[in-house]
Homo-oligomer: A and B are copies of this chain.
Amino acid sequence: MNIICTVVSENYSVKALELCDTIELRLDVLPESVVGRFIEWEKDLIFTCRREGDGGGFRGEEERRLSIISRYVMYADFVDIEYDVDEDFFRSVKRSGVGIIESYHSLKNPGYTYLRDIIEGKKGDILKIAIPGKHKKDIKLILKLHSEYDNLIAFLIGEEYRFTRIISSLSGSPFIYCHAGTPTAPGQFSVEEIYRLRNILTQRVIQ
């Protein structure tokens, strides 16, 4: 259970961040000075710049957004790129040797076939799918995707469905997204909660 922490504001807890394995820096909302603090820290870094339409804070030309991301590729262990971004951009990031999390964020569940096609045609190393949880069958969909694919992070957004983040993580997804003070999506766990949970799950069993 590799804990990623997403930083979206200056109000983060350093203590919480120290418990993380990886930190995601949201270039759409963080001032450059805050991003700078994290570069050359010992933690692995993910950079992303989320569009307003995907629930982020970036408003502007796509070209400018991609150029912001490009500027940070040299500091990155992973870059998060949306599934609908041009293939050329994926290729250029890949050439730099940086890992790619290809992401699909939506306020609507597009159904199994649509998601399967994204996964089958994936351009990144890891696929991240975050869709809203509304019905019990949405949980079944998450289970089905994880039963069929690896290198997948698939979960439901929403407090009531937050446990699907744990299902995803236990099903072998490479990361679990947490917060260090300010949740970035409904249902997100805090780093401390996941840290405690991980301790319970990995405790050595003495029989």
Contact = CB atoms under 8 A, between A and B. Distances in A.
B196 A200 contact: yes
Nearest to A195: B200
Interface residues of A, number: 30
A123 interface: no
Given A166-B170, A207-B183, A207-B186, A143 B147 contact: yes
A203 interface: yes
Nearest to A188: B205
Q: Provide the main secondary structure of the chain A interface.
A: helix
A187 interface: yes
Contacts of A186: 205, 207
State the number of copies, please.
Answer: 2
A183 B205 contact: yes
A30 interface: no
A140 B147 contact: yes
A146 interface: yes
A197 interface: yes
Please indicate which of the listed interface residues A143, A146, A164, A196 has the most CB atoms of chain B within 10 Å of its own CB: A143
A171 B166 contact: no
Given A139-B171, A183-B207, A201 B166 contact: yes
Contacts of A116: none
Contact of A171 (B167, B183, B196, B203): B167
A167 B146 CA distance: 11
Interface of A: 136, 139-141, 143-144, 146-148, 159, 162-164, 166-167, 170-172, 183, 186-187, 189, 193, 196-197, 200-201, 203, 205, 207
